[in-house]
Amino acid sequence: MTKILESKSLYEKLIEDVKKEIKNLGITPKLAIVRLGEDAPALAYEKGIKKTASLLGFDLNINELDIKASEEEVLSLIDKLNNDDTVGGILIFRPLPQHIDPDKINNAINPLKDIDCMNPVNRAKVYSGNIDGFIPLAPKSAVMLLEHHGYDLKGKDCVIINHSDVVGKPLSMILLAKWATVSLCHIETKDLRSYTKNADIVFTAMGVPEMLDDSYFSEKATVIDIGLSKNKEGKMCGDLNEKSVEGKIEAYSPVPGGVGRTTNLLLLQGALNFYKK
């Protein structure tokens, strides 16, 4: 029988852990959000963060700028937030408008408040194998979910279907730090099945609804689905065709109810590091 790696129990544990951290710090932590315009996905993301922040006792400092705001305006706001000691974390909603250079924005964020791991200082730490600081949230959540369910990654053959700076590359560094053997696949990979068929654990973040059926995996496989899109019926789903693999692989994380559930919690938890330092 295929095991479903839900994140509800991990989510509940994280809530209690973060509440205890806040109580021990004796503060009301604050997260600053910078959003340009009123893009629907960004507003939905903001709504989710508001809900989690309220649950944990976080203050939110929401800074909404016009979609046409200049690069100078955004940089000035970031500088202001960098120098506000009541703010523990800064989150810049993306994608940014085309007239704003993302590298300049990333460089401007104080590395101690860079909870989304966009500053090159924090990325360099991850790519050098230092996973104790800020890490992109989807990879962190994916590995945390596996370990919560008792998986030991040491010696495991892992395949990642994604090579981006926010998922595939940082995830590979986390797995290597835990002594897994890692293969990184992408759009130019020839014969994807030859990799996934031999893997103990497959991490997928393609954003292609329900593409991966049982023909991609062996019976020993565990699949961690980081993909998010809508299927033909308009329902949110991942890259994995869950019906196809039921009873044919060892385990998988569902979408929704898997990796995505804990990301907002980890985002806010990251902001506490500033107050500790």
109 and 142 assigned to the same domain? no
pLDDT for 178 equals 95
Domain membership of residue 102 (yes or no) is yes
Residue 132's pLDDT is 80
Q: What is the pLDDT along the chain (277 residues), one digit of tens a residue?
A: 999 999 999 999 999 999 999 999 999 999 999 999 988 778 888 988 999 999 999 999 999 999 999 999 999 999 999 999 999 999 999 889 999 999 999 999 999 999 999 999 999 988 887 878 888 999 999 999 999 999 999 999 999 999 998 899 999 999 999 999 999 999 999 999 999 999 999 999 999 999 999 999 999 999 999 998 889 898 889 999 999 999 999 999 999 999 988 988 999 999 999 998 7
- Domains: count for the chain: 2
Q: State the Cα–Cα distance between residues 13 and 150, nearest whole angstrom.
A: 15
In this predicted structure, what is the pLDDT of residue 86? Answer: 96
Q: How far apart are CA 249 and CA 192, in angstroms?
A: 17
Q: How far apart are CA 140 and CA 137, in angstroms?
A: 5
- For helices 8-25 and 137-148, give the axis angle rounded to 10 degrees: 110
Same domain (yes/no): 103, 142: no
Q: What are phi and psi of 191, to 5 degrees?
A: 55, 70
Looking at the structure, do residues 93 and 45 belong to the same domain, yes or no?
A: yes
Residue 229 lies in a domain: yes
Domain CATH for 67:
3.40.50.10860
Say if residues 229 and 209 touch (Cβ distance below 8 Å). Answer: yes
Q: Are residues 31 and 89 in the same domain?
A: yes
Judge whether 4 lies within some domain: no
Query: Do 100 and 148 reside in the same domain of the chain?
Result: no
196 and 101 within one domain: no
Q: What pLDDT does residue 98 have? A: 94
The verdict on residue 277 lying in a domain is no
Helix (H) or strand (E) holding 145: helix 137-148
The helix or strand, by DSSP H or E, that contains position 10, with its residue range, turns out to be helix 8-25
Catalogue the E-assigned strands of 81-148. 89-92
Rounded CA-CA distance 277/275 in Å is 5
Give phi and psi for 125, each to the nearest 5.
-60, -45
Q: Are 40 and 255 in contact (CB under 8 A)?
A: no
Residue 212 lies in a domain: yes
Same domain assignment for residues 109 and 204: no
Burial of 157 (0-12, 13-18, 19+ CB in 10 A): middle
144 and 254 in a single domain? The answer is yes
Eight-state DSSP code of residue 258: S
Residues 207 and 240 in one domain: yes
Domain span including residue 47: 26-113
Strand 59-65: give its sheet, edge to edge: 59-65, 30-36, 89-92
CATH number of the domain that 148 lies in?
3.40.50.720
Same domain, 106 and 210: no
Position 205 scores a pLDDT of 96
